[in-house]
């Protein structure tokens, strides 16, 4: 079992300036690197203060100069917002900058808020189709002299300039949920990233089942890796853990507000959700967050992750975006590194 950090700049209101948020983001990444984590993942989003990440390649290029050994992954680029020639070139250049430490996570995207601004009329299905055309094309451009005549892209023979340092190319990870996306990833030799979001471990088992079914359908393809992404908090005591569960409850209420795309948005921020509305949402209550997510003392967290290791997951990614203060995020991450990771050392 390998461990990684999934992290972005984020804010729910305008009380923090972006410079401070970026400095805190860097400090969390430095903790992960110095603590021996395998990878750092950071993604792509547009026009949303909830997740501030306009181009992960720029961020990774900066992290490459601030970290030493940790791998640096896009978690994830949003496929429909990229032309394959542009993605191939930017990814290859970033792989050179970070000296072969790049992993590329790719997703179809989740927020209609972004779809309607960057590609009006796009829906999740067509975004997924674009991803399925994009990934083989990017591989072809890296190989060189690749021409493409598809539904979404048409271009004459093109070679990525530069080419990536890693051969034949950086590892590609596909964010998968439904069986078709698992099957696409496996059949195309891509690793898989999954998350149950707020749901319990039954969904974690179901996601692994879909991955195993996809592998069984393509037995000639070497088994790819699969990463589990979960909101995680290692607490110091019960009061600290209860506070973390409440903070995750607030976070997920805002997550679904962005996902539904029905509330007013001003200056990239959704209007504040009233406390009573959050308290009335039983599905996302603090109790549900404590029960479903990996939230607890170190021994509880170890037991949960051991169960995921037994299911067959290769990597566990600590999702730290929770709307908590920097100090609380850092303390939890440091406890995870000091008290949880050693239980998995070979």
Tokens representing 176 are 């998968």
Q: At residue 346, does pLDDT exceed 90?
A: no
- Asked if pLDDT for residue 294 goes beyond 80, the answer is yes
Please give the model's pTM, rounded to 2 decimal places: 0.97
Mean pLDDT of 30-52: 98
Q: Encode pLDDT of 301-310 as tens digits.
A: 999 999 999 9
Mean pLDDT to the nearest integer, 29-36: 98
pLDDT band for 12, please (50, 70, 90 cuts).
confident
pLDDT digits (tens, 9 = 90+) for 268-293: 999 999 999 999 999 999 999 999 99
pLDDT, average across residues 155-172: 98
Read off the pLDDT band of 218 (50, 70, 90).
very high
Tell me phi and psi for residue 233, to 5 degrees: -150, 125
Beta bridge partners of 300: none
Q: Residue 312: name the closest of 220, 226, 231 by CA.
A: 226
Q: List the structure tokens of 186.
A: 């496996």
Domains of the chain plus CATH, in order, are 2-344 (3.20.20.30)
Tell me what percent of the residues of the chain surpass a pLDDT of 90.
98
The mean pLDDT value for 252-267 works out to 96
pLDDT at residue 266, as a whole number: 95
Alpha helices (H) in the chain, listed in sequence order = 18-34, 56-66, 84-97, 112-118, 124-143, 179-187, 201-217, 238-260, 275-279, 286-292, 298-311, 326-335
pLDDT at 338: 98
* pLDDT band per the 50, 70, 90 thresholds, residue 13: confident
Q: Residue 175: what pLDDT?
A: 98
Q: What is the mean pLDDT of residues 150-159?
A: 98
Measure the CA–CA gap between 44 and 183, rounded to whole angstroms.
24
Task: Give the mean pLDDT of 33-62.
Answer: 98
Average pLDDT over residues 311-316: 98
Average pLDDT over residues 140-156: 98
Mean pLDDT of the chain: 97
Beta-strand pair 39-42/2-6: parallel
């Amino acid at each position: 079992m390998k461990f990684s950090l999934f992290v972005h700049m984020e804010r729910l209101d305008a009380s923090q300036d972006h410079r401070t948020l970026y400095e805190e983001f860097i400090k969390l990444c430095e903790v992960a690197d110095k603590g021996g984590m395998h990878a750092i993942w950071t993604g792509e989003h547009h026009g949303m203060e909830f997740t501030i990440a306009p181009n992960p390649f720029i961020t990774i290029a900066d992290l490459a100069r601030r970290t030493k050994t940790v791998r640096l992954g896009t978690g994830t680029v949003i496929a429909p917002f990229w032309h394959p020639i542009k993605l191939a070139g930017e990814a290859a250049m970033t792989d050179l900058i970070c000296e072969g430490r790049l992993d590329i996570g790719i997703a179809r995207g989740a927020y209609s808020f972004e779809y309607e601004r960057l590609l009006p009329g796009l829906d999740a299905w067509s975004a997924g189709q674009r991803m399925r055309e994009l990934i083989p094309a990017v591989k072809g451009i890296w190989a060189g002299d690749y021409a493409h005549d598809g539904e979404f892209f048409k271009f004459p023979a093109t070679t990525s300039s530069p080419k990536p340092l890693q051969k034949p190319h950086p590892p590609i990870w596909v964010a998968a949920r439904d069986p078709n996306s698992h099957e696409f990833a496996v059949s195309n030799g891509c690793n898989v990233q999954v998350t149950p979001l707020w749901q319990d471990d039954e969904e974690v088992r179901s996601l692994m089942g879909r991955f195993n079914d996809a592998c069984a359908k393509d037995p000639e393809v070497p088994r790819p890796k699969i990463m589990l992404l979960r909101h995680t908090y290692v607490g110091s005591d019960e009061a600290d853990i209860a506070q973390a569960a409440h903070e995750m409850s607030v976070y997920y209420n805002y997550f679904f507000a962005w996902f539904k795309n029905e509330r007013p948005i001003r200056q990239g921020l959704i209007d504040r959700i009233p406390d009573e509305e959050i308290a009335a949402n039983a599905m996302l209550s603090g109790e549900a967050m404590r029960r479903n997510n990996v939230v607890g003392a170190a021994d509880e967290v170890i037991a949960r992750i051991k169960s995921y290791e037994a299911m067959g997951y290769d990597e566990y990614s600590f999702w730290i975006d929770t709307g908590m203060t920097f100090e609380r995020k850092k303390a939890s991450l440091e406890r995870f590194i000091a008290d949880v990771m050693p239980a998995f050392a070979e």
